[in-house]
Amino acid sequence: MASYSTNEFKGGLKVMLDGDPCAIVENEFVKPGKGQAFNRVKLRNLITGRVWERTFKSGESLEGADVVDLEMEYLYTDGDMWHFMKTDGSFEQYAVEKKALGDTAKWLKEQVVYTVTLWNDNAISVTPPNFIELEVVETDPGLKGDTAQGGSKPATLSSGAVVRVPLFINQGEVLKVDTRSGEYVSRA
Amino acid sequence: MATDWRPTASIETLRERARLLAEVRGFFAARGVLEVETPVLGHGGSTDVHLASLSLAATTPAGRERLWLQTSPEFHMKRLLAAGSGPIFQLARSFRDGEVGGRHNIEFTMLEWYRPGFSLDALIEETVALIRQVLGQKSGGEAGSLRRRRYRELFREALELDPFGVELGELRRLAGQRGGLDMGDAARDDCLDLLMSLVIEPTLGREGIDVVVDYPASQAALARRHRDPEDGEWVASRFEVYLAGLELANGYDELTDADEQRERFAEDNAARRQLGLPEVDVDRRLLAALEHGMPAGSGVALGIDRLIQLALGKTSVAEVMAFATPNC
C-alpha cells in the first residue's frame, strides 16, 4: 500500500493509524510564523466509528489502508452472521459480523443494496441507503381525517427500527424513511 | 466533474478587499511612510529552517541562474533602508511552499513596513493602530482592548511551566502528550512551537488584541536579542500580535549587524543540512547592505489576508483571495 504525506491528507483518504484503518475527516495546517509546521488531523476509526484527533509534524506520512466501499445486496442472516452479495454479477458473498453491522442492523431488508466497507477483504462496516422503504408492523390505529398537521406516534417497522410517524399512518402501510436521521419522510 | 473556474472570493468581497487596502495606503500616507515595490524574485532566499522557499531557473544576462521567490519582502526592503529610503511599507506577494490551509496559502500578501529610529514599543503602538483602523467600527469592541503578554507568562498560566527553565525531557513529554504524537527526539523550540500553536494560540486575542513579547532568544530569527531586565535571561526583541486566535503580525527590533546576520544564515544552513533540508542561497547583497550600514529601527510583517478575513467576518483566507492556491 502506498503511504501518504501530510500534504496529501484530505477528507476521505483512508490511512492506517495504530493498527486500525481510519478515514481522514479534517486536516488543518498549523504553523507559528517562524516555527515548525504541524497538521492537526481528525480521523474516524473505521472499525469503532470513533473520531480521533492527532497531530503530525508536516511531512510525516501514514501508510494507506486497503479499504474499499462496495455495493452489496442483503441476503439473509443465520443468527450469527449477516450475508451480503456483490451486485457486480460475480455473486460473490460476504459474511458480516454483528459488530461490523452496528446500527445498520435496524435498517436491514432483503434485496436492498447497502454499502459494505471492506478492509483487507473483511467487512468492517455497513452503511444503509439514505432512504429506505419499510412496512409498519406495529403502531396505534390511525386517526381518520388527521392528515396534515400535529401529533406523532411511534411505529415499529419490519426491520425492527422504531420511528415517529404522523397519526394517520396505519399498520401494514409502507413508509419511506431517512436512515441518516431515522425520520419518517412520506408514504411510499 | 465540471472544472471549478470560479473565484474563491465573491466579487462583493473583492470590492471590500480593495476598500480595505485603500484604507491601509491611506494610513501610511498620513504618516509619511513611502510605498515601495520590490521584486518577488531574488538571488538569495530565506534560510529559515521552518520556511520552505520556492525557486526557479531564469535566463538572465549572467546566464542560467537560480532565483528565489521571496518568503517576505524583508531583504529587498532592508537594502532600501540601507540606501537611505527612510520609512517604507509594501503590500508584497510572498511565497511559502507547502503552506495551504484555512489560515495559509502558498502565495499570499504580506503587509510589511520598516520604521528607522522606532523602538519596538513605538512600532507595537503603530501596528495596533493600523489593525484598529482596518477593522473599523465593526470589530471595535473586540479590538478595543490591548494586552501585552510575555511569552513566559503565557506558558506559566496555560501549562504551569517555565519555557526557559523546563528540562527538555519534561518538555518533550508534555508536548507529545498535548499533541498526541511522539516528540521524543524533538528540539526544544519545536516542542515550544507545538504547545504555542495547539494550547496557547487558540486562547489569544479573544478579549481584545494580545501582543506577545519576550520570545526565547533561540527564536529571534532576524531580531536583536536583549537581556530580560527582571532576571537577566536572554530574550528576542520581537513581538507578535494576535486577534481572535489568529497570529496577525510579527515585529522585530531589526538586526543590523552584518557579521551576526552572516552567522545566523550559516547556522540556518547548517541546521538545514542536518535535517536533510535543501540549503538556500544566502543573500550576499543584504549582507553587503548591512556592512554599508542600515539605520537601527523596527519592522513588522502583517498577514493582510488574515486581517481582511477578520474585518469581513470570513472563516478562511481563501474567501478573501480571488483564487486561492487549490484553485489557482
Chain-wide mean pLDDT for chain A?
Answer: 90
Please say which residue of B203, B227, B244 terminates a domain: B203
Q: Could you tell me the CATH number of the domain that includes residue B45?
A: 3.30.930.10
Q: Does the interface predicted TM-score (ipTM) exceed 0.85?
A: no
Please say which residue of B203, B218, B242 terminates a domain: B203
Give the nearest partner residue to B194 out of A28, A33, A36, using CB atoms. Answer: A36
Q: What is the pLDDT of residue A188?
A: 85
Least confident of B132-141, B182-191, B278-287, B303-312: B132-141
In a domain, residue B249? The reply is yes
Q: Are residues B156 and B237 in the same domain?
A: no
Q: How confident is the model at residue B26 (pLDDT cuts 50, 70, 90)?
A: very high
Q: What is the pLDDT of residue B230?
A: 79
Q: How confident is the model at residue B219 (pLDDT cuts 50, 70, 90)?
A: confident
Q: Are residues B44 and B127 in the same domain?
A: yes
Whether chain A has a CB inside 8 Å of the CB on B41: the answer is no
- Rounded average pLDDT over A18-47: 88
- Rounded average pLDDT over B256-269: 94
CATH superfamily, with its number, for domain A67-127: Nucleic acid-binding proteins (2.40.50.140)
In a domain, residue B280? The reply is yes
Q: Would you say residue A147 has pLDDT above 60?
A: no
- In whole angstroms, give the CA distance from residue B316 to residue B309: 7
* A131-187 belongs to CATH 3.40.1160.10: no
- In whole angstroms, give the CA distance from residue B75 to residue B89: 13
What is the DSSP pairing of strand B34-35 with strand B88-95? parallel
Give the DSSP per-residue string, A73-117.
EEEEE-SS-EEEEESSSS--EEEE-HHHHGGGGGG--TT-EEEEE
Q: Are residues B188 and B221 in the same domain?
A: no
Q: What is the pLDDT of residue B222?
A: 81
Where do the structural domains in chain A lie, given as residue ranges?
A: 3-63, 67-127, 131-187
- Rounded average pLDDT over A117-128: 93
Set of chain A residues whose Cβ sits within 8 Å of the Cβ of B174: none
Set of chain B residues whose Cβ sits within 8 Å of the Cβ of A56: 181
Interface probe with B: pick from A27, A55, A61, most Cβ of B within 10 Å? A55
Q: What is the pLDDT of residue B137?
A: 55
Chain-wide mean pLDDT for chain B?
Answer: 93
Q: Are residues B141 and B156 in the same domain?
A: no
**Closest alpha carbon within chain B to A37:** B50
- In whole angstroms, give the CA distance from residue B324 to residue B295: 37
Q: 3-state secondary structure string, chain B?
A: CCCCCCCCCCHHHHHHHHHHHHHHHHHHHHCCCEECCCCCEECCCCCCCCCCCEEEEEEECCEEEEEEECCCCHHHHHHHHHCCCCCEEEEEEEECCCCCECCECCEEEEEEEEEECCCHHHHHHHHHHHHHHHHCCCCHHHHHCEEEEEHHHHHHHHHCCCCCCCCHHHHHHHHHHHHCCCCCCCCHHHHHHHHHHHHHHHHCCCCCEEEEEEEEHHHCCCECEEECCCCCCEEEEEEEEEECCEEEEEEEEECCCHHHHHHHHHHHHHHHHHHCCCCCCCCHHHHHHHHHCCCCEEEEEEEHHHHHHHHCCCCCHHHHCCCCHHHC
Q: Are residues B222 and B169 in the same domain?
A: no
Interface probe with B: pick from A7, A27, A34, most Cβ of B within 10 Å? A34
The yes-or-no answer to whether A67-127 and A131-187 have a common fold is yes
Residues B103, A29: C-beta atoms closer than 8 Å: yes
What is the end-to-end Cα distance of chain A in Å, rounded?
A: 44
Contact (Cβ atoms closer than 8 angstroms) between residue B93 and residue B107: yes
Q: Are residues B88 and B226 in the same domain?
A: yes
Q: Are residues B118 and B179 in the same domain?
A: no
Contact (Cβ atoms closer than 8 angstroms) between residue B21 and residue B29: no
Q: Are residues B166 and B216 in the same domain?
A: no
Domain residue limits at B159 = 147-203
Q: How confident is the model at residue B316 (pLDDT cuts 50, 70, 90)?
A: very high
In a domain, residue B308? The reply is yes
Q: Is A6 strand, coil or helix?
A: helix
In a domain, residue B77? The reply is yes
Residues A55, B181: C-beta atoms closer than 8 Å: yes
- Number of domain units in chain B: 2
Q: Are residues B119 and B249 in the same domain?
A: yes
In a domain, residue B1? The reply is no
Q: What is the pLDDT of residue A59?
A: 84
Q: Are residues B82 and B227 in the same domain?
A: yes
Integer-rounded Cα radius of gyration of chain B: 20
In a domain, residue B31? The reply is yes
Closest-CA distance of chain B to residue A5, Å: 11
Q: How confident is the model at residue A143 (pLDDT cuts 50, 70, 90)?
A: low
In a domain, residue B320? The reply is yes
Q: What is the pLDDT of residue B121?
A: 95
Give the nearest partner residue to A31 out of B104, B192, B219, using CB atoms. Answer: B104
Q: Are residues B99 and B68 in the same domain?
A: yes
Contact (Cβ atoms closer than 8 angstroms) between residue B69 and residue B54: yes
Running DSSP on this structure, what letter comes out for residue A143? P
In a domain, residue B70? The reply is yes
**How many CB atoms lie under 10 A from the CB of residue B306?**
24
Q: Are residues B139 and B152 in the same domain?
A: no
Chain A residues touching chain B at CB-CB below 8 Å: 7, 27-38, 40, 52-58
Q: How confident is the model at residue B221 (pLDDT cuts 50, 70, 90)?
A: confident
* A3-63 belongs to CATH 3.40.640.10: no
Interface probe with B: pick from A5, A9, A28, A31, most Cβ of B within 10 Å? A31
